[in-house]
Amino acid sequence: MSHPAFGVDISKTHLDVFDPHQARYHRFENTPAGHGALVSLGPEALVFEATGPYGEVFEQAMHKAGIRLHRVNPRQAREFARATGQLAKTDRLDARILAAMACQMSLPVYRPLSPAVQLLRDLQAYRHDLLEARKACLNQLERYRHGSLRRRLKQRIAALTRQIASMDSEIAAHIKADDRLAARAQLIASEPGVGPVTTTSLLALLPELGTLTRRQAAALAGLAPLAHDSGAFRGTRRIWGGRARLREALYMAALSASRCHPRLRQVYKRMRDAGKPPKLALIAIARKLLTILNAKLKNTNPQHSC
């Protein structure tokens, strides 16, 4: 990186900043006023960890100020710290480690999500929470036998089911109201085997789709087989990491595509005839389906910069 990036450790209340030019630390409140104070230091680039809701407003403010952003996985930052011999962990040390990471590695530029995609992601996450709550109630229904408890659980399950249906309608309306999302959704949903849930998951959890290589897309979805070899030993390839909820949605789509997709159905049949386990074959179908969708969006280019 030609110009050193400021390292920023983000918490709910504060921003701990390391300025590599002057080797100085700063602390600002994680508020609009604090964001403005950070901008006044004149950084050309910032590197920070993904922190969920604590960083969303910060990211938008820095992007609006024209500062180049680099967002890294917290696990990768921690492993980088250990690799450099830094075992201690404080907010100030984290900021310094992030700045060092930017100096020694080529980090991709990060662009915050558009407001429409961010809202879609929030709606999708809330729907997922409702599904998890309903699953918990259904499990409790298996446990409890007392009539009044079962009655309460059934009432709650019914209420959650109504809320999930309401969220589905709200999500569909939100996608329809945004031209970019609507165009991308139409292309994604036109592929056999891809239903509304998978379409929403791809729009919300993989907004980069259409700008990636097939290997990048598979890695982000956690569908890339990882080698585990050493010397003469050849270990079993396994998938690991990536965006778990996205992988779950693609796996469900693969179940459908293995039956109704003209091309992928034949691929699934060949793999099963060759003795491949069903789950392995379905993971392969999910990866191929993602590759098809990525290429479709890349070639058609329906305003894919979300």
Tokens of 12: 């709910």
Name the domain boundary from 104, 130, 145: 104
Q: Evaluate whether residue 272 is within a structural domain.
A: yes
Segments of the chain with pLDDT less than 70: 1-3, 227-229, 301-306
pTM value is 0.85
The secondary structure of 107-154 as a DSSP string is PPP--PPPHHHHHHHHHHHHHHHHHHHHHHHHHHHHH---HHHHHHHH
Q: Evaluate whether residue 110 is within a structural domain.
A: no
pLDDT of residue 266: 97
Q: Are 139 and 222 in the same domain?
A: no
Q: Evaluate whether residue 182 is within a structural domain.
A: no
pLDDT of residue 238: 75
Q: Evaluate whether residue 248 is within a structural domain.
A: yes
Q: Are 282 and 254 in the same domain?
A: yes
Q: Are 152 and 212 in the same domain?
A: no
Q: Evaluate whether residue 265 is within a structural domain.
A: yes
Q: Give the Cα separation of 82 and 48 in Å (integer).
A: 17
CATH number at residue 75: 3.30.420.40
pLDDT of residue 208: 94
pLDDT of residue 302: 55
Tokens of 234: 């050849």
Name the domain boundary from 162, 177, 192: 177
Q: Evaluate whether residue 151 is within a structural domain.
A: yes
Q: Evaluate whether residue 184 is within a structural domain.
A: no
Name the domain boundary from 104, 125, 150: 104
Q: Are 127 and 100 in the same domain?
A: no
Q: Are 162 and 84 in the same domain?
A: no
Q: Are 57 and 141 in the same domain?
A: no
Q: Evaluate whether residue 141 is within a structural domain.
A: yes
DSSP state of 296: H
Total number of domains in the chain: 3
**What is the extent of the structural domain holding 151?**
115-177
Q: Are 10 and 92 in the same domain?
A: yes
pLDDT of residue 293: 98
Q: Are 131 and 212 in the same domain?
A: no
pLDDT of residue 69: 97
Q: Are 126 and 95 in the same domain?
A: no
pLDDT of residue 305: 46
Tokens of 149: 């408890």
Residue 212, CA atoms < 13 Å, CB-side half-sphere: 18
